[in-house]
A and B are shown apart, each in its own frame.
Chain A
């Protein structure tokens, strides 16, 4: 009976691997690599990739700049309503992307909450690259913040305490002790968030629309090309696979000094409530 169990386990693993790997492999097998590269030279594909990379990078800078201190605060302070705040931050994770798009309209659209204020400043957000960046920030930041909170929480608390007794003020503790020690988890979360942002579709197509050369990101271009120019869709898809795989590898190879956190645990670790 235990032999049967071992066989079932092995079979389950094989099935899982095949199921997950097949679609990815199929992309590469349908179009010869030469054609793949040629398709990428096409204007629409190039535009889409550039827009994707540009908006993803800008969004990522914001995510890191705002998400890191926020996560640090949440990891170190317990206050009334902390659980609520963390849940709010994690909300986009469970929100259907189209709903996220609607929400972004409702907040930043012309007739949205901030609509009149933004119009008064001459700022119109929907259908622009700013909208793409916002959509990416919205869907990708929870991935980062969650991992960052877990990474900061995973630091041995005597270390920041020791730093303070050695004369380090709160900022120095953050910059010289917390940040370096959390780097492994931060890197893993950052990579995951970046990958998620790169593949963002639902909220983007709703809030930013899809205009080649302006707001059509790679995933949107794949969707548009799917019906008419399948080869371009394949080429873009293949490239996104390569980028995602590279990002995933990068996560595994980032060195970590924290004692108990390894990249795979912080990627999906829920944040503890204090």
Chain B
């Protein structure tokens, strides 16, 4: 009996843990940043996901140090609730059309997305890639393409996945996602006129965390820039 009590006490103490600086930094990053966000700080633990999904987790109390979002929207609520520090823009991206390698529907241009019977996959409302894609279609005056949507994914990886499988005819994703999809997809550019202003934001979630500050510095500094450029991200728009 006594031994049990002692054991329990030791476990409880261990669980209480030390302060933040002793633990590894947790970074919540938009999925499109995979390959980059984990390069900045090798010791950091990076969690990838849809930006709005990650924001919801932070809202519910997830223990993140830094949040890297693919757009401003997910940060609005967090900022209003004082859950994050002031966000800074650190990168931009371009939208492209991806199609399965076979491209049976013969899609090469954004206009082709309005062809009857095309199976289009986009991000869902509230998911940055979804909002950006819809903005792009609006800019091109191709709102009709939305009739062709067969699935709204919560994550850009979902869009890539469906197209890569060959089940969807086309999807709109970030240019940086094409490389990861490899030979299963072909990509076609979207004209500058139809590109929305894509801004990636970084915000510190736990104030006073030295590791978080260092991470942000790394991201904004020469190293981070090199990593972002290397992965195909564009510099922050003016």
Contacts and interface: CB of A to CB of B under 8 A. Distances in A.
Q: Do chains A and B touch in the complex (CB under 8 A)?
A: yes
Contacts of B150: 126-127, 209, 211
B149 interface: yes
A109 B151 contact: no
Contacts of A224: 124, 152, 154
B166 A110 contact: yes
Contact of A210 (B56, B152, B166): B152
Interface string B158-175: 100010011110000000
B167 A126 contact: yes
A111 B166 CA distance: 7
A42 interface: no
A226 interface: yes
Nearest to B158: A205
Interface residues of B, number: 23
Contacts of A205: 158
A174 to B, nearest CB: 40
B121 interface: yes
Given A105-B167, A224-B124, A227-B126, A209 B162 contact: yes
A121 B219 CA distance: 54
B121 A209 contact: yes
A221 to B, nearest CB: 11
Contact of B151 (A210, A226, A227): A210
B226 to A, nearest CB: 32
Q: Give the size range of A's interface with the partner.
A: 10 to 19
A261 interface: no
A191 interface: no
Contacts of A211: 149-152
Interface string B115-159: 000010100111000000000000000000000011111100010
A211 B153 CA distance: 9
B55 interface: yes
Contacts of A105: 165, 167
A21 to B, nearest CB: 21
A69 interface: no
A227 B52 contact: yes
Contacts of A141: none
A131 to B, nearest CB: 10
Contacts of B50: 227
A215 to B, nearest CB: 7
B126 A210 contact: no
B53 interface: yes
A259 B121 CA distance: 54
A111 B162 CA distance: 12
Given A227-B53, A227-B56, A228-B52, A127 B152 contact: no
B152 A226 contact: no
A105 B100 CA distance: 15
Contacts of A28: none
Contacts of B52: 227-228
A212 interface: yes
A224 B52 CA distance: 10
Contacts of B149: 211
A75 B3 CA distance: 53
B125 A228 contact: yes
Interface of A: 105, 109-111, 126-127, 205, 208-212, 215, 223-224, 226-228, 230
Given A209-B150, A210-B151, 17 more contacts: A109-B167, A110-B167, A111-B102, A126-B150, A127-B150, A205-B158, A208-B151, A209-B151, A209-B152, A210-B154, A211-B152, A215-B151, A223-B154, A224-B154, A226-B53, A228-B52, A228-B126
18 contacts: A105-B165, A109-B166, A109-B167, A110-B167, A111-B167, A127-B151, A205-B158, A208-B151, A209-B162, A210-B124, A210-B151, A210-B154, A211-B150, A224-B152, A226-B53, A227-B52, A228-B125, A230-B56
